[in-house]
Amino acid sequence: MLGIDRSHFCTIFKRHMGYSPKQYIQTQKMEKAKILLETTDMSIQAIAHLLGYGDQFAFSHAFQQNIGASPKGWRKLHGTSLGSALK
């Protein structure tokens, strides 16, 4: 579509952004996951599916590797109490 091959695109992207397209996508997914964990009562499995992970284990592993905490732990530390907020 851009008239360049994949390898060249990745090189240009990394030169301008400072990281690869794959790293960029992963970062965006993790930021979205943090927001969903903090602001919704969606299950971790539902968040994993929404972000394109095949299963909850793969998502949890990626989250732990990138964020340094489990999704459940992140929600416990940073999430809002939706039940009390709705009363």
- 70-85, pLDDT tens digit by residue? 999 999 999 876 544 4
Q: Is pLDDT of 87 > 70? A: no
Instruction: Name the average pLDDT for the chain.
Output: 90
pLDDT at 81: 60
Task: For 33-46, give the secondary structure using H, E and C.
Answer: HHHHHHHCCCCHHH
